[in-house]
Amino acid sequence: MTEPMPLILVVDDELPIRRFLRATLQDDYRTVEAGTGAEALSLARQYNPDAVLLDLGLPDLDGLEVVGKLRSWTQAPIVVVSARGREADKIAALDGGADDYLTKPFGAGELLARLRVALRHAARLPDAQEVFEFGDTRIDLLFRTVTRAGEPVHLTPHEYKLLVTLVQHAGKVVTHNLLLKQVWGPGASGQTHYLRVYMAQLRAKLEVDSARPRHLITEPGVGYRLRP
Amino acid sequence: MTEPMPLILVVDDELPIRRFLRATLQDDYRTVEAGTGAEALSLARQYNPDAVLLDLGLPDLDGLEVVGKLRSWTQAPIVVVSARGREADKIAALDGGADDYLTKPFGAGELLARLRVALRHAARLPDAQEVFEFGDTRIDLLFRTVTRAGEPVHLTPHEYKLLVTLVQHAGKVVTHNLLLKQVWGPGASGQTHYLRVYMAQLRAKLEVDSARPRHLITEPGVGYRLRP
DNA sequence: TGTGATCCTGACGCCTTCTTGACGACTTGC
DNA sequence: GCAAGTCGTCAAGAAGGCGTCAGGATCACA
C-alpha cells in the first residue's frame, strides 16, 4: 500500500503557465487548479491541499490577500510564483505568510525542489488541531467560531487573535511581548496595557467568574496562560 | 522581560561578505561567525544557533557536506547563500537539507525576510521537553511551571529566574555574582542580600524543612547549589 | 454622511512583588 | 573569648503590575 500523492493547489490565471505547472508536477503530485483568487480560496476549503502554488497576479483579488486569507485557517505551505521580482514584493509576500517566493522565469527542477522543502517542513508539523476546548468553551479555528455551552460567542478580531495565540500555546506561559507581537504586530512591544484590557474582555465573555479566572490565567510579570 | 534575540551562525570565508551580513543582521539577531566548514561545525555544536546562514564556497569542506553534517543532529534552519546560481546547485542543496537558497547578489531585505520565514518554521516545531526534578518538586522550563507533589507552586518572576539559574547548573556551585547577574542583571553584583532574601523564599516554598534545606544548599562565601 | 462596532487611552484603586533595613545566629580567624 | 564577616529571618515601605471602567477616536459599512 503506497501513500497517496500529495495534493497541490495550483493558482494562476494564465492557462499556458498552468499547463506548464501541471506538466511539471504530474509525476509526483495530484493537482487542483484555480484561475482566480476567489476560486482558489473556495477550492482550498474544499480540498484542503497539502501545498499551494500561487501566482500573485490574479484578476480578481490581490495575491497578498489570498495568502492572508489562506493563512488565517491553514498552515499548508504556500509557494508564491510571480513575475514581479522586486524585493519589496518578495518581502511583503514572505512576511504575509508565504513560505517561498520564486521569480519567473524559473526551472522546473528548482520549483520541485522548493516544493519538496515546503512539504518536508509541513510533514514535521504536529497535526494542526482545528478544535480546542476548555471548560464549556469551544474554539473552532477552521470556522473561526467560539461557542460556550453550545451558544455562539461573539469576539472582536483582536479578542479572537489573542485567544488563538493562547490556544496555540495551550498550557504554556505566553509572554507579554509574544502576545503583543502576534496580535498587534511588531512595534507594540511594551504596550501591556492592551493586554490587560483585552484579557478582561475575554474573561468577561468566556469565564464563569471573571474575577477568579480558571482558564485565562495571569502570570504576573511574565504573561498569560491558557489552562485547559 | 524581553526574549533574547535569536542567534545566527554566519558561515562565509570572505571577510567583506561576513561584514555585510553582520551589519544586516545586527539589529535583530546575535551572530556567531565562522570562516571555514570545520569551524562552522564546531561553533554550531558549541552555540546551538537558531539558524545557520551558509555560503557554499568554503575553503576546506564542500558546502553540501556541511549541510549534511549539520542536518544529522540539528533541525535548525539552514539558509544557503551562494554565488553559484546553477539550478543543479540549488536542487542539490535544497534536497540535501537546506531550507532556502539565495543567489548572490541579493538584497538585505530579502535575506531578512527569508530568515524570518525560516525562523517562523522552526518556531512551530514541537519543543523538546525540559523537565527537571528534585525531591517532590518538578520544574517544567517549557511550560514555566513548578509543582510540588503535583500541586502547582506559584513563584514570582525573580524567584523563578533564580531557580532556573540553579537548575541550569544543577549539582554545581553557582557563585553569588553569577546568580545576581542572571537574575538581577549586570550592576547588581555585590548585592548578596538579595540572594539571602530570595533563597529563603524559595526554600519556604520548595523545601520540606526550610531551616534544614536538602536541595537548595548554601556554599558559604561562594554561592549556592541545587542538589538533585 | 451617519451609525454602530471596535479600538485606544487615561485614571484610579488594589494587590503583588521588590527593595531595604534591623537583628540575631553562626562561622572563622585571631 | 572576641571581633569581623556571613547568613537567615522578619517586616515595612516603595514601586510597579494588574484589573476595571469609561470617554473619545477611529474604522467599516451602508
**How far does A122 lie from chain B, in Å, by closest CA?**
9
Instruction: Give B97-115 pLDDT, tens digit per residue.
Output: 999 999 988 999 999 999 9
pLDDT at position B18 over 70? yes
Other C-beta atoms closer than 10 Å to the C-beta of A113 total 22
Search chain B and give the residue with CA nearest A113.
B91
**pLDDT score at A141:** 86
**pLDDT score at A73:** 77
**pLDDT score at A1:** 54
In this complex, the residue of A109, A175, A221 whose CB is nearest that of residue B87 is A109
Q: How far in angstroms lies nucleotide C5's C1' from the CA of residue A223?
A: 28
Nucleotide nearest B210, CA–C1', reads: D8
Is the pLDDT higher at A112 or at B123?
A112
Long-range CB contacts (< 8 A, 24+ apart) of B144-150?
A: B144/A172, B144/A173, B144/A219, B144/A222, B145/A173, B146/B206, B148/B205, B148/B206
pLDDT at position A217 over 70? yes
Taking contacts as CB-CB distances below 8 angstroms, the residues of chain B near A75 are 124
Model pTM score: 0.76
- Sign of the Cα torsion B198, B204, B205, B206 reads positive
pLDDT at position B2 over 50? no
Instruction: Give B198-219 pLDDT, tens digit per residue.
Output: 999 999 999 998 888 999 999 9
- pLDDT above 90: percentage of residues in chain B: 78
User: Which of A37-51, A124-138, A148-162, A185-199 has the least mean pLDDT?
Assistant: A124-138
Nucleotide nearest B213, CA–C1', reads: D8
pLDDT-derived band at A68 (thresholds 50, 70, 90) equals confident
**How far does B33 lie from chain A, in Å, by closest CA?**
25
Backbone angles phi, psi at B121, to 5 degrees: -60, -45
**pLDDT score at A2:** 63
The mean predicted confidence, pLDDT, of chain B is 92
Is nucleic acid strand D under 7 Å from A212's C-beta?
no
**pLDDT score at A186:** 81
pLDDT at position B148 over 50? yes
Beta strands in A35-163 (DSSP E): 51-55, 78-82, 100-103, 131-134, 137-140, 145-148, 151-153
Whether A219 sits inside 8 A of B144 (CB atoms) is yes
User: Which of A20-34, B8-22, B41-55, B177-191 has the least mean pLDDT?
Assistant: B177-191
pLDDT at position B45 over 70? yes
Whether A221 sits inside 8 A of B100 (CB atoms) is no
Residue identified by cell 495551550 is A170
**pLDDT score at A104:** 86
